Structure 1
């Protein structure tokens, strides 16, 4: 940029776009999901505590619903039939979390679910006049019951690892960054396509976390194949060259078809060819799909999944190189491919970006606090992407929200 003020205008536009994406995600969670956002919850569910919550919730209904309230001195010819709520409705409440936790604001979500419960009862013949119900008091009492549930669940719950959600997205939904909704921030979420069925091969190490494992001693990296990302090459070249074992290295040139096939199949005979590689496609729009009307969309992600790749990381739209470089570095470290701090101070952004060294130090601190790395037990690739999505980039939405994972959780084996 040669014109005066052009750089400042560029940064201002990016920051405005980042804020607009944030507002869009907030609005969609509020208006589309509302109190039903608990369906995405990965909270530990315990049947004994759920029964206790159900008992407390039924007391609230008995107290505030005219259809269930006992009126002294009045006899009815026939008692009203009480409708039993499906346990999954109660789980929606549990999925909202502790309503009394710091910075928690669940009043609107609880109100939404309470109205839904009354609607369900109404539909099944248990009539109530809405203006006769004290919904505010019901919110307060339900909040107390939720608080009791989650306090008890935390006390009796061991360190819960491996919680994971897979979104099955059709052609109308895959373009949206679901993983960056407020209720899914930092949560392990991956995607799959309706027609794909990724395999989960066996072979987990006895001491490792259960799941699909890949060795850090074999693989292929293709760095700056188009030759136009000198800063990216400088950021990752030395670290990637230090990877142990038999790694294929293609740098600053386009791979041949044979090299690409060997990288994806592990060099297996052609008759048995299948994509065995986990693929990290850290480039622009690498996870986008092309719409073709009534037919299913197509794109690289679909090809990788149908070919059998366990997991593929890509971006839903175009991203800038320095910000996505910071994201990639954070994923490599959280996943366990490189030690924490390997990319501290590298890939620095010009302008108003955060100091990468400070961001890397914060990532190390958070990783230890969250137990992401304990006794050499690293996070899955999906967990690593989720953590980087919340911490690594200057633009948390414009860049980080673009990154998604298709497939299953994959772990690094030393």
Structure 2
């Protein structure tokens, strides 16, 4: 690995030290203080919406000129409605219970010692993500509520937007007497990112959020602990015992509701017992919604008969997170084959089964290794807001510390507090 530029190391070290000072202040704030600050941030964002949208248009123009795909442009785009939505997310966070100080467990020992395990902030959290300006606001809000300072490194595609958002939020924090360095935006090139990833001892946690390439880079290059998030090669499996009306609604919603996000379905698996009845309907509706279909032999034959455009699926298609209006379709002979397909190609994010057979549903939920498993529901529900957590920091696809939608509790660690009255160990 090439040596990291000294200036980049110094830039990150300076930012991280300032974050640590801010984090010490945040850890002492009451819930009321934090909630008041969150409301102030929300109001400031709404007041600055025209400025934020203008900055976002600069980024969108560069993206369009550079040939950015439509799905990524959608993720990048902010209008006044979306600014209002991210402001509303901050208010939602303010309404959530404060995890800091929560007693996880405790007891009084026979010798009179009182012990309890309580939630405390992580400290300094680094976020590395791509063209998702809403992440900038969500991370700042969740960081504040959980008592953590955040260092944000968004993608260069959202440079102007992120700068505008962070400037507004820092100003709101200062107006509440809270250090502005509780929220910092890291700028600079690749060396700045690498310096953040290797700032062990100054940064407590790194959370990457984006495509497979970004996440893999962070996981392999970081010496700071990482929570891996987000790559979603998501499947909907329509079982032999499926209610086909439910299956149609779920498959179409899972793919088309918002195709550019990680909980959108990328592959549709259909049991051969219902394929003849189901495929013409679902392929027609997906195609009518603009979905490009990549089919195996059996589903391709159904598409041909129905006069629906399609291409032959390749091995690469089964492993692709399209993040766009594209979907791979396969007919499977049984539940076992569907489970095998998901084991081979899934990414541990979200998987769904549509079935009225309780035994099949139990097998699916028990055998699928994923952070979220849906039964007769769209994969689009894997989301911190939909789960009632408020805004999420990301969706963890790993198994240690956090799994699935991550919100406030997942941004804390714990501390053991032991109170005695002079006890000594014999």
Give the TM interval when normalised to the shorter protein.
Answer: under 0.3
Q: If each structure's strand is expressed as a fraction of its own residues, which one has the higher value?
A: 2
Larger radius of gyration between Structure 1 and Structure 2: 1
TM-score (norm 1): 0.25
